[in-house]
Chain A
Amino acid sequence: QVQLVQSGTEVKKPGASVKVSCTASGYTFTGHYMHWVRQAPGQGLEWMGRINPNSGGTNCAQKFQGRVTMTRDTSISTAYMELSGLTSDDTAIYYCARDPKPVAGINWFDPWGQGTLVTVSS
């Protein structure tokens, strides 16, 4: 079955960067876009961007442009999201989520990884 497994909890200081990984199994990694969505404590969901694991091409919400870098390593079916210039407002659970439509994508999210808690605190 399709499974996304994310890296563990991170604690970072303001101004630092964090890199979250998402390892896929159960399907052809390069065949589906991977999205990143975050959720601040007790809050709603916020789409950050997506990566085409085949080409490496990315699309990013304007809010995060210049601060987020999405990459992938196809040899280990893993996508990465790095966020720089962290502030307390970046404290959130970060999810990866697969686009269910192969190749072209459809911009729904199914399934999701288990989430990675990133806490930014001095």
Chain B
Amino acid sequence: EIVLTQSPVTLSLSPGERATLSCRASQSVSSYLAWYQQKPGQAPRLLIYDASNRATGIPGRFSGSGSGTDFTLSISSLEPEDFAVYYCQQRSTWPLTFGGGTKVEIK
């Protein structure tokens, strides 16, 4: 099973700042990595797939990069609605697995 390790666990930032979230895989997942956003009391929402492709309707301030074992989700300028928990997920190998999440909180 591929283990995805997200860091940091919590990121405290102010609106307008840049957020950089990391996801590291225990073995290569090529570019088969996605990012999801989850707000309290809501289901997750797909943000990025195949490491760097924004899903439909996702604002341009969200971007993803990386391949192999190291991936990054960047939010260029945090909006109030961006404070949430973010999860990465790989589809390279069964079973599909998620990282433990990074909470982006208001500083």
Contacts and interface: CB of A to CB of B under 8 A. Distances in A.
B95 A61 contact: yes
Given A44-B101, A95-B43, A107 B95 contact: no
A73 B97 CA distance: 27
A44 B49 contact: no
A59 B44 contact: no
How many B residues are at the interface, by size bracket? 10 to 19
Interface in B66-107: 87, 89, 91, 94-101
Contacts, number: 54
Contact of A113 (B34, B43, B55, B89): B43
Contacts of A114: 43
A94 B73 CA distance: 26
Contacts of B91: 106-108
Contacts of A63: 95
B46 interface: yes
B36 interface: yes
A112 interface: yes
A42 B98 CA distance: 15
B36 A109 contact: yes
Interface residues of A, number: 22
A45 B44 contact: yes
B39 interface: no
B61 interface: no
A45 B43 contact: no
A102 to B, nearest CB: 15
B45 interface: yes
Task: Name, among B44, B87, B99, the residue most crowded by chain A CB atoms within 10 Å (CB to CB).
Answer: B44
A100 B46 CA distance: 10
B6 to A, nearest CB: 9
26 contacts: A44-B99, A44-B100, A45-B36, A45-B98, A47-B95, A47-B96, A47-B97, A59-B94, A61-B94, A61-B95, A62-B95, A63-B95, A95-B44, A97-B43, A106-B49, A106-B91, A108-B34, A108-B89, A110-B45, A110-B46, A110-B55, A112-B44, A112-B45, A113-B43, A114-B43, A115-B43
